[in-house]
Structure 1
């Protein structure tokens, strides 16, 4: 592990991600929200990477979901245990566990979201906060970045896909571009998210909902093309990295078998609840998309094209329009 990290520091991706900012240890406090389920095998390494952050002003809240496989003991024995709080999860899966954290944790700090099995690069929080501090303090803003996808041993690194088009609500309605393990919210966004989460029953995944909520409310989404963490891929990943032909084939199957339509229905129900927080323009866009899904094919295609919904790449757009044509959006 240590040797692999040293070798990684020599790569162009690492040098790119570690350059172009100045670390400020006196900057704002960060609350890290971590949802845990059967995570004992990799949790200690993730806690170590958090402890090694150049930005030192952080605290961690861990929500342990379901039967504990030893995570509580790992946390209690860790060198940073005095900075970690534990709560019990709702026992309804990862998305519900993250929503539970957003409801329970006090807003007003920067919020960062953490998986249980990744490995943060040392500059992750410093870089995110520096970028977010460029946004007006009273504007909700969300940072996210690319990552280095690895195997279970944190080896065989490849960078996650680029995001060529600007973030927008029209994109967020039909695609998630923000990996939750890279997301950091500014204090204004943490207040918005905390308030909105109180009334939302269910979301497909928490990071997609965050992207939709922040853009829908007219907030700022800051995409960083440099990686901020090592994203560990293994058999227990909930969704996994969305790159490569195998991932594309999996996404197409999800359209064909109705999975994607189910995701859309869950998301739209949550967004309808959140609509009071949205700009008038985005409330109209949400209503138009919801109405279009119930129309005959020709009307449905016309309404959604005029709405401007889109995904990030030509291939992804093609899959989206297939789903529209089949009535599975």
Structure 2
């Protein structure tokens, strides 16, 4: 009996040791960061290697590592819309997107219809993604002049398409008033060049390479957004800000008023407050280390402009300390 008890005890001890070893041997991913202020790795979802998000993400990742000691793994993606799903699925901790796209995601609207994402919080906005209505036609001088014209409104399901629809709405128009083409930026400018389309909506940081290419062979015009229409759009859609396409961009002689959405950083809401605080501080207090043309726009003082979702408590703590509010 005693021998049997000893045997059973040994079996129980062995089982317990195996369970403890298994628990201790689990690899903790960045998706397990909830409640853990000792996060060792953050994954940043950016965009394609040829875009702006990817190089910025790499530079910010280095800043995060240097300033906080937390490693940052930068991954490529399909950018704004896809990044929201990546965060939802815990495949990243931080992501680049646009202020309008994350607004649609949290409300389950447009391309996120029926797929509302509740787990997203803002870290800060970065730089303008300017809405440019591009044409080479001399008879298109205003948004109203687009009536009856062949107009590219961006790829199907894109943020650009939503921008186009909202701007037309502000002018009492809709897609029914134009001949809609759903084209990428490159295909849009190629269509303008060969005459198959008359104008195109392009939402991107200026100067945009596709439009620069067009301006090398044709005289480009940017259609203005009137101030009162911009105000109405901002009131209805707070993710917009007033912007302009500067003089000499695409060889235009005078600055053209328009509106913009903003690129921004979004985080999962379950990231620890102290981690997001450190990351926010690291990025906005080391913008001089971001060697990119967009760095001039990345400032703590403007990081809440156009913010379309609630801030993460860690980011809010940083901006509160700086006396910055929306």
When normalised by structure 2's length, the TM-score is 0.24
Larger radius of gyration: 2
Q: Which has the higher contact order (CA 8 A, sep 6+)?
A: 2
When normalised by structure 1's length, the TM-score is 0.23
